[in-house]
């Protein structure tokens, strides 16, 4: 059974070419069993547009549980990364875009009443508007 991004994609990156937290983390997460992924793992990888066909459905599952699912930065950081991920992915996977739009519509009240800083709220609202266009 294929349990990691590397196994599913049959693509092995090898060692990182340079040392940075983000690069090292992304390389490690490609080797991590998907059933062990946490919100933060999804946030990081989706934020880098890595393995979107595998990870967006997982993120949608998390967002159904809590539209403001939180990685290590702020409430709603997963939502923002999902909404700002590569437009090409959404164009190629309209069923996932439809799922996200339905999820946003069913959470309109929660989104209108989010309790966060103005900067974060504006960032999420801007991402929602751009995604919905």
Domain-by-domain residue ranges, the chain?
A: 5-132
Alpha-carbon distance of 22 to 129, in angstroms, equals 28
Bridge partner residues of 75 (DSSP): 70
What integer pLDDT is reported at residue 18 of this predicted model? 84
2 pLDDT higher than 80: no
pLDDT tens digits, one per residue of 78-126: 999 999 999 999 999 999 999 999 999 999 999 989 888 899 999 999 9
Q: What is the band of 66 on the pLDDT scale with cuts at 50, 70, 90?
A: very high
Per-chain mean pLDDT for the chain:
94
What integer pLDDT is reported at residue 1 of this predicted model? 58
How much is the pTM? 0.93
CA distances from 98 to 2, 57, 87, 105, 125 (A): 27, 12, 14, 11, 18
Alpha-carbon distance of 89 to 113, in angstroms, equals 29
């Amino acid at each position: 059974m294929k349990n990691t991004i590397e196994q599913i994609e049959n693509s092995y990156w090898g060692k990182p070419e340079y040392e940075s937290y983000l690069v090292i983390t992304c390389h490690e997460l490609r080797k991590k069993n998907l059933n062990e992924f946490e919100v933060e793992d999804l946030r990081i990888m989706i934020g880098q547009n890595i393995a979107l066909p595998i990870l967006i459905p997982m993120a949608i599952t998390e967002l159904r549980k809590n539209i403001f699912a939180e990685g290590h930065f702020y409430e709603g950081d997963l939502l923002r990364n999902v909404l700002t991920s590569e437009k090409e992915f959404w164009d190629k996977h309209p069923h996932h875009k439809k799922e996200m739009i339905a999820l946003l519509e069913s959470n309109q009240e929660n989104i209108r009443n989010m309790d966060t800083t103005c900067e974060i709220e504006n960032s999420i609202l801007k991402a929602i508007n751009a995604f919905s266009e």
